[in-house]
Chain A
């Protein structure tokens, strides 16, 4: 057997080829541990019935995961109707893992509810399914029709990706966060630089990253075109997994496993990073950005809407008031996070500073509702995409991506800054 990377080991296991292993670019057929979808489940369910006929049944009612998060609460009757279609489908098919709108963003809820053990394949009808690599799983995004087909027959094809190794060493300086690290990685690898590849994270800094910080990194590997962004299981993963009844081995990549690229990054001297409009790899150190006033500051999304993110923002905003020209929008990534942030006084601090708290969901990230920006306005956001159209942005507007700390500091100043007031 040739030396196997993490993705090769995971795909070999999922396709029944554990003994012989798999090689790069080989086509394998895998059955996922879970297949995730969200509001798009309405369209997927219609496609599903087109494939299997009106009396067709799903392949496994315990493997399909649906969380309503994209249009929550529904801003109009059409989106509300989609939710109705999904609830009926869930009931008719006996789907076990359905999470009602307001529970949280699919990528937050899936691991938090114990659906992501290490070493498994998670398929998802959402491009940020890469998030689940944080837990040592292969989170691989697919499309709607394909999701319908997996619901019907329980498997799909995957081409075994070539792998990129990222080695992070050193300790993050004060005011610099996981988001800054991954933005710097994207700057170096570029938006197309990891297309079809699987990324593995190593190095002394990785051991110090929390599960939440790892999720930020894995989430954003999607913005380099990666198929997966995986953290090897370590003590931090084991500690997280104690709350669940998972049975697993710690798998590691073989020593002779092949990587097409290795990127080493010393994080000790890193400064806060900003991705300028309208590309995620349009990244500069914040000190190189000219004075940029903002109208909206967004903290939330599947990238950076977790408890530690809200806490960092609250520590910056404590006993202060945001700039009068700024609207600060806060979308906790899940109900559980909102509840915990409420108990810890984080929500009170954010509201007292002038923040508007949204319902745990995707919020305005995709650009359909929940705090879009008007013509001529600029936003700073803790999300993962600054494309034209996101948050309703146009040619003459723009989204700047940054860490929650930079977003909070900018909300106070009225312009983009990483300096404490």
Chain B
């Protein structure tokens, strides 16, 4: 899915898909698929160490609801190896944001750097379930559960410079623009 489907990356409506605790990057992006740097290749195997049907499930969500998927995870999501193909692959298959109880810190940075919004909400796995739709406002820091009388869950928004990075589409376009305007290159 292209970014044009989301006019504002900081305001996202999507369908929840859940996963458990301690999903490490070896499970998200197994090392045997990392030789080919093209995301169209390695993204086929996203989460295959955890759930071989994961990519199909995401495509089903897109087909059924015409909305992106929002991944809701437990604690320590993306722990382990620093491989950036993990968030890049998740983004490529159409995950619009990840909400987790906590993140592995390298994964958290990598996700923002590839332009994939990540949000920390304690106990989130107890508040939502598979298949419901939610709206996330990253700027204001709330998550609206649209099917439970619009229950609002608040979270601390990311620092403004990280929100800008997400708006730029990640660190590559952001820095490119920054260096261009500073006439450095």
Contacts and interface: CB of A to CB of B under 8 A. Distances in A.
Interface of A: 27, 43, 46-47, 50-53, 55-56, 76, 78-79, 125-127, 141-146, 148-149, 152-153, 157, 191-192, 195-196, 225, 227, 279, 366-368, 385, 387-390, 392
Given A127-B80, A127-B106, A385-B26, A145 B161 contact: no
A52 B174 CA distance: 11
A166 to B, nearest CB: 19
A368 B84 CA distance: 17
A366 B82 contact: no
B22 A144 contact: no
A387 B26 contact: yes
Contacts of B114: 145
Contacts of A148: 172
A387 B29 CA distance: 12
B170 interface: yes
A31 to B, nearest CB: 16
B19 interface: no
A145 to B, nearest CB: 4
Interface string B79-118: 1111010000000000000000011111001100110000
Contacts of B81: 127, 366, 385
Nearest to A56: B185
Q: Which 4 A-B pairs have the closest CB atoms?
A: A192-B76, A143-B110, A387-B26, A389-B26
A53 B104 CA distance: 31
B109 A143 contact: yes
Given A50-B172, A79-B35, A145-B113, A389 B49 contact: yes
Given A50-B176, A143-B82, A225-B79, A27 B159 contact: yes
Contact of B175 (A27, A51, A144, A392): A51
Nearest to A44: B84
15 contacts: A47-B172, A52-B175, A56-B185, A76-B35, A126-B82, A127-B80, A127-B106, A141-B82, A143-B110, A144-B82, A145-B84, A145-B114, A195-B79, A367-B26, A368-B31
B37 A43 contact: yes
Contacts of B106: 127, 141-143
A385 B113 contact: no
A79 B31 CA distance: 13
A152 B37 CA distance: 21
A387 B113 contact: no
Contact of B27 (A43, A142, A387): A387
Contacts of A227: 105
Given A50-B176, A142-B106, A367-B31, 6 more contacts: A126-B82, A143-B110, A196-B105, A225-B79, A368-B32, A389-B32
A201 B27 CA distance: 31
